[in-house]
Amino acid sequence: MPLWGTAHAADENKPKFLPADENSDYNKAECYATQAGWVIDGAATGNGNTGADPEILVAIGGLAGATSATGLKTATITSFRFAPTTGAATDHTAGTSSQRVRVVITWDEAVTVTGNPTILIPNTVSADHTCAYVSGSGTNRLTFEVASQTLAAGDVMTIGGSNDIALAGGTMKDTLGTNANSSRDMGNVTAVTHTVLA
């Protein structure tokens, strides 16, 4: 059995020797498919050159596909996560009305975004959050965020499953211009929950 895959719409295609740990220089989320094969950006490998060509980890010619019927066919979501930070408004703790709810969605190919797609993040205790696309076009990791949200201790937010990306007149395409099928992909990856702490 190979240590990588090429099946369309499979979230386990990425090289299996890569760790899932987001703190690792070589991590599975940073890996994505191109026409050269499975690659990882030079900046992620620690060489410090953000303009370097991606490092090829597994050479599979035409992996990204020449058409919507070849290769991986279309970009597929492989993981998502909440991305709280240590800033006063982004640590997802209670006690402020100006929280930033931020999620990062990872794909198996680079995705180009136009317009302002959004994703609804259900909150099982208080109001849901509509996060708008803010960055990542041309990479395989897109960030969605909403500011000035009131969070309370015990709030439980969830991403995955039934919450789809709404294009809202925008587009999300892979490097060959094929539409990314985010609705199907959300159900393929295990949902992630985040509980707000006091």
DSSP sequence for 80-108:
EEE---SSTTTS-BSS-S-EEEEEEEEEE
> In this predicted model, what pLDDT tens digit does every residue of 73-114 receive, in sequence order?
888 888 888 887 766 666 777 666 677 888 898 888 889 999
Cβ partners under 8 Å of residue 177, min gap 6: none
Q: How confident is the model at residue 123 (pLDDT cuts 50, 70, 90)?
A: confident
The whole-model pTM stands at 0.83
Q: How confident is the model at residue 16 (pLDDT cuts 50, 70, 90)?
A: confident
In angstroms, rounded to a whole number, what is the distance separating the alpha carbons of residues 196 and 99?
11
Contact 123, 146 (CB under 8 A): no
The alpha carbon dihedral of 11, 188, 120, 124 has a sign of negative
Domain annotation for the chain: domains and CATH numbers = 77-195 (2.60.40)
Stretch 57-86: mean pLDDT? 81
